[in-house]
Chain A
Amino acid sequence: MSTGNSVILTTENVSKRFGGLLALDQVTLSVKEGEIFGIIGPNGAGKTTLFNVINGVYPPTEGRVKFRGEDVTHLQPFDMSKRGLARTFQVVRPLMELTVRENVTVGACFGREHLPLEKAEKVADEVIDFVGLTARTEMLASKLNIAQKKRLEMARALAARPILLLLDEVLAGLNPQEVADMLTVVRKIRDQGITILMIEHLMHAVMNLSDRVFVLDYGAQIAEGTPQEVSNHPKVIEAYLGDPKVAQRFLEGTA
């Protein structure tokens, strides 16, 4: 279902070491323009670390990251933002003492378009409308509940008018209704032409939403392909459930 053929982001043999711990092991992937690319894997697999490397929070120990043909391996996060990369955090990080509007305006001011304050505020209002937070525009970020904070996080990233959006577990902590709402928002974002790279734990969501899925375990790639291919991959099942034969027996009810 991808609308474009060009590759927008690649990581080439990216490894990341923290002292003695190998968090990422030769990770190679490529994301096509316009698609929704899911990243899954058990806890501690290195998914957020991968985002941090792509985003520029820290450089990889080995390997390269290329965005739209440019080698961006050693750039800082604010440089990446200028180039059209936006990102949300797994544990949301709202700017507490600022209002929703001010939060989103920051995104618009310092994102890809680097808008002046007035234009940025207009963009902010549009984006706040898009995620459905208009009623709370003047509220302090610290007063929002978790679902609203997640939407704020999303709005702030969108206000930067990114080309590629990195979503880190946007669905975590949401009840089923909130999940459904968020999924609709994610689809709307993709329909606007923004490429999405998402880390997610909620299986049915990521499988339903993604065009392609990439599976990490202990920092290394163990599978890649369409959701269908990946969910039947024995290694994936093993990583999540242990021995695939046992998993099979559970499914058949003969265990």
Chain B
Amino acid sequence: MKTLSSPFIWIILVVVGGASLLPVLTNSVSLREDMFLMLMLVILASSINIIMGYTGYVSFGHIVFFGLGGYLAFFLMKEFQVHFVLAALVGGVGASLIAFLMGIPVLRLRGAYFALATIGINEAFRAFFTNFDLFGGSVGMFFNFAVYDAYGGAKSAGQFAYYAMVVLALATIATSFIIKKSKFGLGLMAIREDQDASMVLGINPVRLKVLTYTISAFFPAVAGALFFFKNGLIEPAPAFELHRSIEALVMVMLGGFGTVTGPIVGAVVYERLRGFLITNPTLSSAHLVIAGVMLLLIVLFVTAGVIGWVRQRVPALRRYLE
């Protein structure tokens, strides 16, 4: 496939993969924890970019798949002692299936209506899981620590979860790239630019949008499964925390939507900044204000985000900096 012969994607994968190996090499647990979270955000941002950056559909409630994948996998691991990798994959597929079924009616909506609907869907699921006793209701579910014995104890389970997250992050980035460079991705961007014109050009928008939405649901779902597996505890509120997907949107806008590197850059910058602000004694309570101001400035003045801006200013790089 011509796509894979482009050196660019390999550079990105190597950089991300290399950075992810640092905690292993330095044997630093705190660094590993940091990277775990960072990779999760990269996955969330990249998957939002797949639906939003390429098709222009703003999925405000995208975090719902994180929760759905998390709950489904957790349930399988707790009740049926399913291996965490398998449970995570099932969680991913399950969430994708739900995305597929929901996507067919919901993606007919445009713009703000779609954004609102995704919020409604997230809130509906959150309220549902808060009440659904089979999945623990408002208390949620937690692991008996014996569950970790199958992996050699809680510590090594944490390590395995980390490796899995790295693989997932690389897979998400690769998928994002493959879509962008493919005929499928070109069709998506045509839909984003002008859906009616794209129909006349021969594109079936419903089919492409639903497929994209389905794909974009898989990665956060698996990430959710891994996150809650490591956590040992899952509750409705953090599983369906609306704020998280909105933050992911900010990351995509910051880094540059519609690009592969944009979400990565955005996630890293945003998270580093947030971490810095929160731990800084004078600025910690202001972190929300500062983040808000940052977002406002980007939205008003640099809509294309960091990567987008670079691509515009340096046209020669446009072909290489995806």
Contact = CB atoms under 8 A, between A and B. Distances in A.
A105 B186 contact: yes
Given A93-B197, A110-B187, A117 B182 contact: yes
Interface in B195-246: 196-204
A95 B194 contact: yes
A246 interface: no
Contact of B201 (A97, A107, A116, A117): A107
Nearest to B200: A77
B193 A87 contact: no
A98 B193 contact: yes
B183 A78 contact: no
Given A57-B200, A77-B199, A109 B183 contact: yes
A106 B201 contact: yes
Interface residues of B, number: 22
B71 to A, nearest CB: 38
B174 interface: no
Given A109-B183, A118-B2, A95 B202 contact: no
Contacts of B183: 109, 116-117, 120
Nearest to A157: B201
Interface in A87-128: 87, 89, 93, 95-98, 102, 105-107, 109-111, 114, 116-118, 120
A234 to B, nearest CB: 37
A138 B319 CA distance: 10
Contacts of A105: 186
Central interface residue in A57, A98, A106, by most chain B CB within 10 Å: A106
A11 interface: no
Contacts of B193: 95-98
A110 B208 CA distance: 12
Contacts of B199: 57, 76-78
A245 to B, nearest CB: 43
B190 interface: yes
A102 B188 CA distance: 12
B189 interface: yes
Given A109-B183, A118-B2, A81 B190 contact: no
A108 B277 CA distance: 50
B200 A87 contact: yes
A111 B201 contact: yes
Contacts of A156: 201
Interface of B is mostly: helix
A106 B2 contact: no
B200 A95 contact: no
Nearest to A93: B197
A80 to B, nearest CB: 8
Contacts of B202: 77-78, 81-82, 107, 109-111, 114, 160
A55 interface: yes
A76 B187 CA distance: 17
A49 to B, nearest CB: 15
Interface in B75-119: none
A117 B194 contact: no
Contact of A89 (B187, B189, B197): B197
A88 to B, nearest CB: 9
Contact of B186 (A97, A102, A138, A160): A102
Contacts of A77: 199-200, 202
A51 B196 CA distance: 14
Central interface residue in B182, B193, B194, by most chain A CB within 10 Å: B193
Contacts of A110: 187, 201-203
Contacts of A57: 196, 199-200
B187 A109 contact: yes
Contacts of A138: 315
Contacts of A114: 202
A124 B181 CA distance: 16
Central interface residue in B2, B181, B190, B203, by most chain A CB within 10 Å: B190
A92 to B, nearest CB: 9
Nearest to A88: B200
Nearest to B203: A110
B198 to A, nearest CB: 7
Interface in A151-172: 156, 160
Interchain residue pairs A-B with the least CB separation, the first 5: A81-B202, A110-B202, A95-B193, A93-B197, A77-B199
Interface of B: 2, 181-183, 186-187, 189-190, 192-194, 196-204, 258, 315
Interface of A: 55, 57, 76-78, 81-82, 87, 89, 93, 95-98, 102, 105-107, 109-111, 114, 116-118, 120, 138, 156, 160
